Amino acid sequence: MGIRSMAAMAAGRAVHAVLHGVLHRHASQLPGRVALAIDPQVVSHLRSKVRAGSVVVCGTNGKTTTTNLIATALEAAGMSVFCNRDGANMLPGAASALLPRHSADWAVIEADELSCIHILPQLQPSYLVLLNLFRDQLDRSGEIDHVQDVIVQALAASPKTTLLTCGDDPLCMGVAERARAAGTRVLTFGVDEDLGLPPDRVPEARFCQRCGAELSYAYRTYAQLGAFSCPTCGFARPERDFRATGVQVGHESVAFMAGFGGENAWAVRAPFGGVYLVYNLLAAASVARLANVGASTFQQVLNDYDPGNGRLQRFVIDDYPVVLNLAKNPTGLNQNISLMLSDERPKAVYVIINDEPNDGRDISWLWDVDFERLVDRQDVCMVLAGGHRANDLQVRLKYAGIAAPVVLQVDAALEQARAQRAASVLYVLTNYSALWPTKAELERRERKDG
């Protein structure tokens, strides 16, 4: 290690000490940024502090939850972990997570898909978990083809990394095929049965990754995930290494058996709902299994899991239940709608759409969301539109057949939901930049009223 990287680490740590110790701020980005400014390769030096292995988690939806579950499971098994838990998922965030003076057994790093190309060559992780690929922030990321190219390149620059990816997602398998051809070891996970859920709108991946023919499906689990095969060239869902069977999906819980081939399967049960969570939990369980965490330890982590990060976060404000969830792209919002409609309580719905840079400036994707599913539902009592693009959302809802008033504050939405006596729960669905202020306001109200 040279003087330059030592200086970089010292500077980064000093920034962390000031931010965290003196100013009591979150130090998720700046220490890494400072260290990288002095030594752009600082992560490649920091990786020697990680003793047992490292995992990078990427994919359009579910990164933060999966990363946190893996890190928490490793800690629960007695291992020490570096982790960018708060979702600062570009190279500076990864560097910040690795900066502490001490060493650790594992590094678990959430990575933005396009940041893999910066993180993997330096970190050379044991595993890259690729959860799924959906259309997201086209103005920033470009088309999915480009995102796939970047991940393939990142893996080529990190030859010892094993790719653990979703075998049910043709877009992930497109990446896996190319990476495997270039020498990457590939493991896959997936759901082993038809869940019998109504199919949602599938904006992507109707066509074969190899030959361009239309894919056929024995069944879909959600979006483009499922038992796919190409009728012409043989591109198809692989035999998965890690499989979920006996899947039960509710709006407040999921349960399944996670099979790892030959060995005893794990019974996995979590107190939060949604079919996409089955995949996230299966990915986390697979990594835990690979890292020799036990089944009961993993289950205990799920029992205690309460990240309080706005993902399916529940509040009770003056006896009135509120559910907050992140929905930042069409697949995410469609899944949110499915989850919400599986809750039988009469509900008010408040959707918040911002267009800050970290949301994506382009909100055209609202027209790919199946808001039509909210029409003619007796349990959907009221829909409200919020965020900087509330007017666009209102127009989208109007053409779906829903008259949605514009409401700019979550407080006001809550008042309207309560005044509308039929609704007994408020769902707040928001994209990224509105999540934190909305969560903060709901927490403030909960404290005040509790």
Partner 1 sequence: MASGRLVRVLHLYPELLNLYGDSGNILVLRRRLEWRGLCCEVSEVHMGDRVRAADADLVFIGGGSDREQRIVCEELLAQRQELASFVGDGGVLLAVCGGYQLLGHSYIMGNEEVRGLSLVDLYTDRGSPRLIGNVVVESCVSPQPIVGYENHGGRTHLGADVEPLGRVLSGYGNDGKSGQEGCLYRNVIGTYVHGPLLPKNPGVADWLLARALERRYGSGELEPLDDFEELAANETMRVRLLGV
Contacts with partner 1, residue ranges (CB under 8 A) = 138-139, 143-145, 203, 206-207, 212, 214, 361-368, 391-392, 394-396, 398-399
Nearer to partner 1, 283 or 404 (CB): 404
Task: Work out how close the CB of 6 gets to partner 1 at its nearest, in angstroms, rounded to a whole number.
Answer: 38
CA distance 339 to 331: 12
Task: Work out how close the CB of 202 gets to partner 1 at its nearest, in angstroms, rounded to a whole number.
Answer: 9
Task: Work out how close the CB of 205 gets to partner 1 at its nearest, in angstroms, rounded to a whole number.
Answer: 11
Nearer to partner 1, 135 or 347 (CB): 135
Q: For residue 185, what are the β-bridge partners?
A: 162
Nearer to partner 1, 62 or 330 (CB): 330
Task: Work out how close the CB of 118 gets to partner 1 at its nearest, in angstroms, rounded to a whole number.
Answer: 20
Nearer to partner 1, 51 or 146 (CB): 146
Dihedral through CA 357, CA 170, CA 67, CA 41, nearest 10? -70
Is the distance from CB of 8 to CB of 35 less than 8 angstroms? yes
Task: Work out how close the CB of 401 gets to partner 1 at its nearest, in angstroms, rounded to a whole number.
Answer: 9
Nearer to partner 1, 399 or 436 (CB): 399
Q: Calculate the CA 239 to chain-centre distance.
A: 24
Task: Work out how close the CB of 357 gets to partner 1 at its nearest, in angstroms, rounded to a whole number.
Answer: 11
Is the distance from CB of 437 to CB of 310 less than 8 angstroms? no
Task: Work out how close the CB of 399 gets to partner 1 at its nearest, in angstroms, rounded to a whole number.
Answer: 5
Is the distance from CB of 348 to CB of 125 less than 8 angstroms? no
Nearer to partner 1, 296 or 391 (CB): 391
Nearer to partner 1, 220 or 311 (CB): 220
Nearer to partner 1, 42 or 384 (CB): 384
CB atoms under 10 Å from CB of 343, counted, come to 16
Angle between helices 63-76 and 275-290 (to 10 degrees): 40
| Pairing assessment for the beta strands 50-58 and 127-130 based on DSSP bridges | parallel
CB atoms under 10 Å from CB of 307, counted, come to 15
CA distance 134 to 205: 9
| Pairing assessment for the beta strands 242-249 and 185-191 based on DSSP bridges | parallel
Residue 333's closest CA among 367, 375, 294, 283? 367
CA distance 196 to 199: 9
The structure tokens listed for 229 are 């095969």
Task: Work out how close the CB of 222 gets to partner 1 at its nearest, in angstroms, rounded to a whole number.
Answer: 18
